[in-house]
Structure 1
Amino acid sequence: MGIPEGETKPEEQRLGPVLRRRDQVQPGTTDQRLLDTEGDSEWVHTDPWRVMRIQSEFVEGFGALAELPSAISVFGSARTKPDSPEYEAGVRIGRALVEAGFAVITGGGPGAMEAANKGAREAKGVSVGLGIELPFEQGLNPHVDIGVNFRYFFVRKTMFVKYAQGFVVLPGGLGTLDELFEALTLVQTRKVTRFPIVLFGTQYWKGLVDWLRDSVVAGGKASERDLLLFHVTDDVDEAVALVTKETGK
């Protein structure tokens, strides 16, 4: 197909919502390019194609999680050992959240995430894992009952916030800190409301809290009231009470 022999190239071309004129007019039609089996596959790496994949991830996530009961997201390190006190705390928190009437959402990986999912499953609650595609593949832990794997961190983080009423943050590394500060920023800027954040493990989080108070707030980079955006505790019952108190349950 394309332009028949002897005909001139049109000066204006409409391709759906896109208008092309003069030298930007393309030969052929959209259907022709779709059905043409020749050519390379570089188009699957273009930004417009990525937009479609991003859109599909949102659709899959929303579809899988839309009917979840009230839920709490639990974060923590994938490197937490199964025989550690932190792992046992994660199991107890997952169990206690289910007993309080909540589903449990984690990143779906091993360590602290697995612990919270395990506690939720043992309590016969809804155990959710939102995984992420990484070079070092972890896979979803065996205690996840509803699992969704994502390519893009920002889509995954949207799901953590959209389908949870609060966060419990166990000791963790850079990924955990990323999720924590994302949540703190959303609450501080009022992008989300009524969203309690609990840091579990006073000794672990002490250095961070001291730095926020003595450097960030003292240096005028945040206000004193920003330190009220989160709570710190070592008590499982207190953590659950703090993270669920504003949900009305």
Structure 2
Amino acid sequence: MVRKPLRDLALEDWSRVIATNLTSTYLLARAAEDLLRAAHGSIVAIASTRAHQSEPDTESYAASKGGLVALTHALAISLGPEIRTNVISPGWINVTGDEPSRRDHEQHPAGRVGRPEDIAALAAWLLGPESGFVTGAEFVSDGGMTRKMIYEGRSRDRSRHHATTDRTAPRSPAARRTQLHATDATRRAAARDRTVTSRPYTPRHTRRARLNGRPSRRERRHEHHDRGPARPLRHPAARPRRPLRRTRRLVDALRPR
């Protein structure tokens, strides 16, 4: 693996990593195609979990392993059904012989760091007749690390609730005062935005009749007397006041003739 910053990664370094990890697999598959077709053989490539996640300054390595995953399903379609092609993406496999620490083992959901025997057993199954219905697939063997959510510098409980804890619990008194002022301003703006809309008065029986799809009493009365459609209802306060009969007679009596 060539680990260099992007500005220092020369084209020669990039080409060397791609040739070692990706081009070599392509050349091997092309050279062995006839023999594998005759024997109904199988190809198992070895990629890495770096095809899905990366560390800084590993662009060439990640690109080569990601290319292996894509090359695998392309070969499976081109060479099938005579040749099956699959790929294994290992995680942390201890090949140095040094025993990892207890913390190294415990961080894996599987409870331990991987061993070469884990990858060998999976490759043997992919090459054997038991996997005759499997081709073009990627098998991740990393103890569950690529499925584990990890936040640097946070505990397990805080990482679950960091989105709400950091926003709703300011630490300093000044931050608390700022948050209280912002909350009050938000409430005042919401109160200003609320508008009270007045609706025309409608009797209860009319509302019920409209909800049930039936004509109201007033509409039925107008239809019975054949007086045409009913006029729209208005609020009692909006109706014009009419003088009483007694007042009207008094006004007529006092009017000069």
Higher-Rg structure is 2
Structure ranking higher in strand proportion: 1
TM-score tier by shorter-chain length is under 0.3
After TM superposition, the score normalised by the length of structure 2 is 0.22
* Structure with greater helix percent: 2
- TM (normalized to structure 1)? 0.23
